[in-house]
Amino acid sequence: MEKAIKRYMPIFILPTFCAFILGFIVPFLMGIWLSFCKFTTVTDARFVGFSNYVDALKDTVFRHSFWYTALFAIVSLIMINVFAFLLALALTQKMKGTNLFRTIFFMPNLIGGIVLGYIWQLIFNGVLASFGTALGLNEWYGFWGLIILVSWQQIGYMMIIYIAGLQSIPGDVMEAAQIDGASGIQRLFKVTIPMMMPSITICMFLSITNGFKLFDQNLSLTAGEPSKMSEMMALNIFNTFYGRTGWEGVGQAKAVLFFILVVGIGMIQLRATRSKEVQQ
Positions touching other proteins (CB under 8 A) are 1, 4-5, 8, 11-12, 14-15, 18, 38, 40-44, 121, 125, 129, 132-137, 223, 225-228, 239, 242-248
Tell the smallest beta-carbon distance from residue 245 to other proteins (Å). Answer: 4
Tell the smallest beta-carbon distance from residue 11 to other proteins (Å). Answer: 5
Residue among 120 and 205 whose Cβ is closer to other proteins: 120
Are the C-beta atoms of 247 and 241 separated by less than 8 Å?
Answer: yes
The amino acid at residue 182 is A
Residue among 194 and 226 whose Cβ is closer to other proteins: 226
Residue among 6 and 96 whose Cβ is closer to other proteins: 6
Tell the smallest beta-carbon distance from residue 60 to other proteins (Å). Answer: 11
Residue among 11 and 185 whose Cβ is closer to other proteins: 11
Tell the smallest beta-carbon distance from residue 189 to other proteins (Å). Answer: 46
Are the C-beta atoms of 125 and 141 separated by less than 8 Å?
Answer: no
Q: Compute, in degrees rounded to 10, the torsion defined by CA atoms 72, 77, 80, 83.
A: -120
In SS3 terms, the chain reads as: CHHHHHHHHHHHHHHHHHHHHHHHHHHHHHHHHHCCEEECCCCCEEECCCHHHHHHHHCHHHHHHHHHHHHHHHHHHHHHHHHHHHHHHHCCCCCCCHHHHHHHHHHHHHCCHHHHHHHHHHHHHHHHHCCCCCHHHCHHHHHHHHHHHHHHHHHHHHHHHHHHHHHCCCHHHHHHHHHCCCCHHHHHHHHHHHHHHHHHHHHHHHHHHHHHHCCHHHHHHCCCCCCCCCCCHHHHHHHHHHHCCCCHHHHHHHHHHHHHHHHHHHHHHHHHHHCCCCCC
Residue among 52 and 207 whose Cβ is closer to other proteins: 52
Tell the smallest beta-carbon distance from residue 244 to other proteins (Å). Answer: 4
Residue among 88 and 233 whose Cβ is closer to other proteins: 233
Residue among 133 and 183 whose Cβ is closer to other proteins: 133
Tell the smallest beta-carbon distance from residue 90 to other proteins (Å). Answer: 36
How many residues in the chain? Answer: 280
Beta bridge mates, 39: 45
Tell the smallest beta-carbon distance from residue 14 to other proteins (Å). Answer: 8
Residue among 159 and 219 whose Cβ is closer to other proteins: 219
Tell the smallest beta-carbon distance from residue 243 to other proteins (Å). Answer: 4
The amino acid at residue 154 is Q
